Amino acid sequence: MKETQTINNNSKSTETTERISGSEAVIKCLLAEGVEILYGYPGGAIMPVYDELYKYQDRIHHVLTRHEQGATHSAQGYARISGKVGVTIATSGPGATNLITGIADAQIDSTPMVCITGQVASHLLGSDAFQETDIVGISTPVTKWNHQITKASEIPEVMAKAFYIARSGRPGPVLIDITKDAQFEEFDFKYEKCKGVRSYNPIPKLDNTSVEAAAKLINAAKKPMIVWGQGVSLGEAEAQFKAVVEKAGIPSAWTILGAGAIPTSHPLNIGMVGMHGNYAPNVLTNECDVLIAIGMRFDDRVTGNLATYAKQAKVIHFEIDPAEIDKNVKTEVAVLGDAKESLAALLPLLEEKTYPEWHQKFKDLYAIEYEKVIKDDLHPTKEGLTMAEVLKEINIQTKGDAAIVTDVGQHQMIACRYANFNKTRSNITSGGLGTMGFGLPAAIGAKMAAPEREVISISGDGGYQMTIQELGTIFQQKVPVKIVVLNNEFLGMVRQWQELFFDRRYASTEMTNPDFVAIAKGYSIEANKVTKREDLKDAVEKMINTDGPYFLEVCVEKEGKVFPMIPTGASVSEVRLE
């Protein structure tokens, strides 16, 4: 991933030093890294930094979230839509531990994020002091890198390293814990951006022989298929990717985080793979002769049972992280490197091709999926509203240009299946960790990073209530985000599993919900509720045409199910349509 942030001219590194406190140094480092927005929550151990934030408030915007978890998801939304590093700040103890879910989410979804936490004074470390927690120990398994600062003089170098590590190579979260005495301590400040870390090689050097071997396999293939992931957009390789797909004429499917790198409507875009992905790419994964994986990691939700996954195919894996090669699926050819560079090198070696018969197979299977699933989802004959209808209406009203920020569950799968993604970085969702509560705060960050874009948060009634307090952030910051709750009065995905695999024993999945409209209105957010099909169009239109934030609750059928579905342990080709 390229460094997309520019150094703020006013605080570029200089030869001269100035004597300032550690806490002011933190702010100066953030400014030097081009940070404009921070998401956070103050508290005892981070107060010196907040005091500096007060002084610098004309240059750096601090967003007070209503919970530290909200801060991390907002920072993630900010990072995912913009490619910049999202930044959160919190106090020690519970402030720091509340960041963990968001950090784990950013780690598994490769999201660049820097989290700054305050810590008790260094002489109190290990004494079980008030609000002391070993956040470096706790965050170790879920951070790309973390570090505790106990002396102010360490701040510039560690902060520079934090941003460099978070955004370079395969991005990820970094946590920097700063003791309170280091925040107060004065030292001679001088900032230099990090240009490299000797033990860390973010982008493996591209090996041309592997590119040639990949091209040879692709050119000789009779039934090739591409599965791409988030690596394409993280590597800003959308143009190179599109050129490769079009020249080679290969049917291309996406993982949930890959969505939008080429538009949904592109003729070679054959849909989503995985547990609730499209029928054709799942079934034909087990029929293709060459499987070209680009910037994806063969997650178990993508592969189903590995023992029966694409066994007939020769697998080519384009990947930036060497640890992903052969981790889950054995590759014939591994091309290590940055997606943009690798695909640019591949392009001239590819023969121009089309595979009309092979394409027809995808079309035939799509027709089956349409008949058995899609038709009833989009054009239901039954009375109850479906989630897919809502997505269809949003597609129409936004012309497919919106960024869709989802939570986790049935609505998420439906949104990914039916939303039109015309633009890259438009599907912001918790893929790897499956964090309920992600959606609303992530939408806040996304909208603040890309105010020119329409940002629509889509949640279920369950996940929405996990971070519903962030309505307060929307209210205070006046973030014009559109909030849709698809309410089926159930934890729908768990209920679906209970129906299919646990003989309809609906253990703790039924929800008695509050008056969501009243809650939104309590935060002065315009709100509406739809229960009938004939009101849906006008309601979505009203939402889109409202300037400020808007809340729309849609009551959907209670026991709707998401299909296709690959049951756990089944093969991708055993994907069920009903």
The one-letter amino acid code at 338 reads D
150 within 8 A of 126, measured Cβ to Cβ: no
- Nearer of residues 327 and 561 to other proteins, judged by Cβ: 327
Two structure tokens written together for 557 = 């059928």
How is residue 427 written in tokens?
A: 């599907």
| Least Å from the CB of residue 144 to other proteins | 7
Q: Which of 522, 555, 513 is nearest to 385 (CA)?
A: 555
Catalytic one of 28, 144, 161, 180: 180
Quote the least distance from Cβ 513 to other proteins, whole Å: 37
Residue 140 DSSP symbol: G
| Token output for 568 | 């756990």
- Minimum CB separation from other proteins for residue 141, in Å? 5
Residue 196 or residue 514: which is nearer to other proteins going by CB? 196
Calculate the alpha carbon distances from 12 to 5, 31, 132, 192, 352 in Å. 13, 9, 35, 8, 48
3-state secondary structure of 560: coil
Q: Is-catalytic flag, 180?
A: yes
> For the chain, first and last CA: distance in Å?
40
Rank residues 145 and 191 by Cβ distance to other proteins and give the closer one: 145
For residue 170, the minimal CB distance to other proteins (Å) is 9
Q: How far is the CB of 163 from other proteins (least distance, A)?
A: 13
- Least distance from C-beta 192 to other proteins, angstroms? 17
Q: What string of DSSP letters covers 290-355?
A: EEEEES----HHHHBSGGGSSTTSEEEEEES-GGGTTTSS--SEEEES-HHHHHHHHGGGPPP---
Torsion sign across C-alpha atoms 286, 304, 420, 338: negative
Contact 267, 360 (CB under 8 A): no
Query: Taking the complex as a whole, how short is the minimal distance between the CB of residue 577 and other proteins, in angstroms?
Result: 35
Strand-pairing partners, residue 173, are: 113
Please identify, using beta-carbon distances, which residue of 307 and 507 lies nearer to other proteins: 307
Q: Which is closer to other proteins, CB of 60 or CB of 124?
A: 124
User: Bridge-partner residues for 314, per DSSP?
Assistant: 290
Task: Mark 253-277 as b/e (b = at least 16 C-beta within 10 Å).
Answer: bbbbbbbbbbebeeebbbbbbbbbb
Q: Which two tokens stand for residue 98?
A: 């509340």
Lookup result for tokens 């999202």: 86
- Which of 2, 12, 18, 130 is catalytic? The answer is 130
Active-site choice (159, 275, 493, 565): 493
Single-letter amino acid code for the residue at 516: F
**Environment class of 221 (CB within 10 Å of its CB; exposed 0-12, middle 13-18, buried 19+):** buried
Cα within 13 Å of Cα(411), Cβ side: 36
Q: Which residues contact 167 (CB under 8 A, 6 or more apart)?
A: 1, 3, 4, 5, 84, 85, 112
Q: Write down the catalytic residue from 33, 68, 238, 319.
A: 68
d(CA 341, CA 202): 14
Q: CB of residue 185 vs other proteins: minimum separation in angstroms? A: 19
* CB 418 to other proteins: min, Å: 36
Q: Which is nearer to other proteins, 146 or 230 (CB)?
A: 146
Rounded-to-10 torsion of CA 127, 132, 135, 138: 70
Output the smallest distance, CB 322 to other proteins, in A: 6
DSSP string, 58-122: TTSEEEE-SSHHHHHHHHHHHHHHHSSPEEEEE-STHHHHTTHHHHHHHHHTT--EEEEEEE--G
Q: Residue 261 corresponds to which tokens in the numbers above?
A: 């790198």
Q: Which is nearer to other proteins, 124 or 136 (CB)?
A: 136
Whether residue 1 lies in the annotated active site: no
Of the pair 148, 496, the CB lying nearest other proteins is at 148
- The CA-based dihedral angle spanning residues 489, 491, 496, 497, taken in that order and rounded to the nearest 10 degrees: -150
Find the farthest-apart pair of alpha carbons in the chain and give their distance in angstroms, rounded: 73
482-487 and 550-555 beta bridge pairing: parallel
Between 134 and 246, name the residue whose CB sits nearer to other proteins.
134
* Nearer residue to other proteins within complex by CB, 28 or 161: 161
476 is catalytic: no
- As given in the structure block, the two tokens for residue 7 are 């150094």
Strands 333-336 and 403-406, sheet pairing? unpaired
Residue 130 known to be catalytic: yes
Which of the residues 36, 131, 361, 423 is marked catalytic?
Answer: 131
Quick check: is 563 catalytic?
Answer: no
Instruction: Give the residues lining the site for other proteins (CB under 8 A).
Output: 136-137, 140-141, 144-148, 165, 196-200, 321-327
Which residues are identified as catalytic? 68, 130-131, 180, 493
